[in-house]
């Protein structure tokens, strides 16, 4: 693992693992979110999420149970890593897109862009996403985390087409888009399609067709159109 310096570690809910730009005051943290996450994911992967207790994670890391909960709000949150940073990236991508680019193209490109990962991160990501889309406790928790994602998309859509982000239009687009993204992720995490962004791209192109039955039929049988062409 060559991710020595992970500087984007803004606290999700825990105050710990601060970059601490100024002088370090007080007692130094005895570990990091990344360190905990690595140990925990390893345990989850080997023994299963439910079968791994917080006590086991804590003792594997070398901290107390109480300290674990200062780094992560819950056992579930460990799997999500630095999800919040990605949320900011998505918003930037959506809001920064040229006004004349079609809405669904912007959306597709933005989601694809925010899900580009280096080869070194993919193995861990697959474990994360595999857990998120299969373990009931994590499937459940995902709905809460993805709510923020939907809000970002709904804001974008409302800004494009008018009306309130809470309205049926933006909400439907946002939640349907989330569905497409989740489908892509789940498919990628399950079988070894090593092309995550490709899956996302395909799912969103499909979504933008309105799921016409004939096109969908051809799409399933023959190989679906890959990205390549333009925006």
Partner DNA sequence: TGACTTTATAGCACTCAATGCCAAAATGGA
Partner DNA sequence: TCCATTTTGGCATTGAGTGCTATAAAGTCA
> Which residues of the shown chain bind a copy of itself in the complex (CB under 8 A)?
102-104, 136, 139-144, 147, 157, 160-164, 166-169, 171-180, 182-184, 186-187, 190, 199, 202-203, 206-213, 216-217, 219-221, 224, 227, 230-231
In whole angstroms, the minimum distance from the beta carbon of 194 to a copy of itself comes to: 14
Contact 152, 212 (CB under 8 A): no
User: Toward DNA, which CB reaches closer, 76 or 91?
Assistant: 76
Cβ atoms of residues 29 and 16 within 8 Å = yes
Torsion of the alpha carbons at 175, 142, 199 and 47, rounded to the nearest 10: -160
CA distance 21 to 18: 8
For DNA, the closer of residues 24 and 143 by Cβ is: 24
In the complex, minimum distance from the CB of residue 45 to DNA, in angstroms, rounded to a whole number: 16
Q: What is the DSSP letter of 136?
A: H
Joined together, the tokens standing for residue 61 give 């890391």
197 binds, among DNA, a copy of itself, none (CB under 5 to 8 A by kind): none
Shortest distance (Å) from residue 8 CB to DNA: 18
Contact 15, 70 (CB under 8 A): yes
Q: Which residues bind DNA (CB under 7 A)?
A: 2, 15-16, 18, 23-31, 52-55, 62-67, 69-71, 73-76
What are the start-end ranges of the E strands in 42-141?
Answer: none
């Amino acid at each position: 693992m060559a991710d020595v310096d992970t500087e984007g570690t803004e606290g999700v809910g825990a105050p710990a693992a601060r970059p601490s730009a100024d002088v370090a005051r007080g007692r130094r943290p005895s570990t990091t979110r990344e360190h905990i996450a690595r140990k925990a994911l390893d345990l989850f992967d080997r023994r299963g999420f439910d079968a791994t207790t917080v006590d086991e994670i804590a003792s594997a890391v070398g901290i107390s149970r109480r300290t674990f909960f200062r780094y992560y709000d819950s056992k579930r949150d460990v799997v999500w890593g630095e999800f919040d940073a990605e949320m900011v990236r998505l918003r930037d991508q959506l809001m920064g897109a040229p006004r004349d680019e079609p809405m669904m193209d912007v959306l597709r490109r933005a989601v694809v862009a925010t899900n580009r990962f280096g080869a070194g991160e993919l193995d861990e990501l697959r474990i994360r996403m595999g857990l998120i889309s299969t373990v009931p406790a994590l499937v459940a928790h995902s709905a809460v985390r993805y709510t923020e994602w939907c809000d970002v998309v709904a804001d974008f859509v409302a800004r494009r087409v008018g009306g309130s982000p809470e309205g049926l239009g933006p909400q439907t687009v946002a939640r349907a888009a989330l569905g497409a993204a989740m489908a892509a992720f789940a498919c990628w995490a399950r079988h070894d399609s090593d092309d995550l962004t490709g899956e996302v791209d395909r799912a969103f192109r499909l979504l933008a067709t309105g799921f016409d039955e004939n096109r969908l039929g051809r799409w399933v049988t023959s190989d679906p159109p890959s990205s390549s062409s333009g925006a």
